[in-house]
Structure 1
């Protein structure tokens, strides 16, 4: 599990295409290396990945075809920066909200509203996911725990404070860029249950 509080940005140093998977090499920030072991879980732009090898600060992860198809990691190239977070430990503060690192879908940036000390970003989401996104609810964007600022048909926005802009890659995104979205699982479960009950009642 993760908290959605990004601990640093990791540079992509290599992308190796192998049969059925892609091997991603990242240069992790030094403060994230202590105690890191093979098999450990790391959130990379919101995707829960397992460490497959380590060579100093260079850590590699294997991405299966399903992960590449669903997430933006298929577009990684050397030099790109990605948000990273080590798995949460028992007893640590949960500053954001609990996240699994299982991406629900991609969203596309449709509007950037830049103001002093604030950035509002609007995202369009695929059909079938809008009902799970609630005003003032939690959402994970590229591994960042954020609060939904507002909704409109097929889209939602978030507001970034200077700290979030400085600690993550989200402030560097441009119009048309895609991001990884993790829907809050509790919200999804409640919405799906209500929809199922209403559908059952309508059939009676």
Structure 2
């Protein structure tokens, strides 16, 4: 479980592909201070298991399903990625409940710079749009954000200076793909009520 509060932006050191899967190597300093092999870490919003650690960062296996359904399949060396360690028991839940299970990939549709913030519109795959509500929570590239507008095929968010400076969202351009995780509580409510075509 994560909170969507990014601890640092790591850098992809390398990626080795084999049999449809991949081994991802990420340079990091903050998140590795107490990581161990087998621990979970969110990389661009995707929960991965640490398989090895060294003085410069960590490696993790990425399964074929993850490569197909997230932006991790497009990562190349030198690319920045948002990183967050799993929430420790008793820790502060400053964002919202984030699983690191990406629901789909959206696209940056528009970006409007403000005096100290940016307003960003993100397209959302049709099956996910019903889970996005104005003033609700959504995760974009692992970042917990509040929805400022919810539409049939997109939603809006406002990026404060801290988010612009401390995450990869500050460098996103129109057309860039982004990992999306909708609020898990909305999915459970739908499932329990038996509405919305849930399966």
Taking structure 2 as the reference length, the TM-score comes to 0.95
Task: Count matched residues.
Answer: 197
**Highest CA radius of gyration, 1 or 2?**
1
Instruction: Show the counterpart of 2:129.
Output: 130
Residues 1-56 of structure 1: CA deviation (Å, up to 9, x unaligned): 1010000000001011112311110001x222222111110000000000011121
Instruction: Show the counterpart of 1:3.
Output: 3
Separation (CA, whole Å) in 2 of partners of 1:10 and 1:69: 22
Instruction: Show the counterpart of 1:168.
Output: 167
Instruction: Show the counterpart of 2:42.
Output: 43
Residues 94-131 of structure 1: CA deviation (Å, up to 9, x unaligned): 11011110000011111101111010110111111111
1:33 lines up with 2:32 in the alignment: yes
Q: Which runs of 5+ in 1 are unaligned?
A: 200-204
Separation (CA, whole Å) in 1 of partners of 2:187 and 2:135: 15
Instruction: Show the counterpart of 1:55.
Output: 54
Secondary structure of the 2:36 match is: coil
**Contact preservation (8 Å) 1:131, 1:191:** no
The 5 A counterparts of 1:54-133 are 54-133=53-132
Calculate the aligned-residue CA RMSD, in Å: 1.4
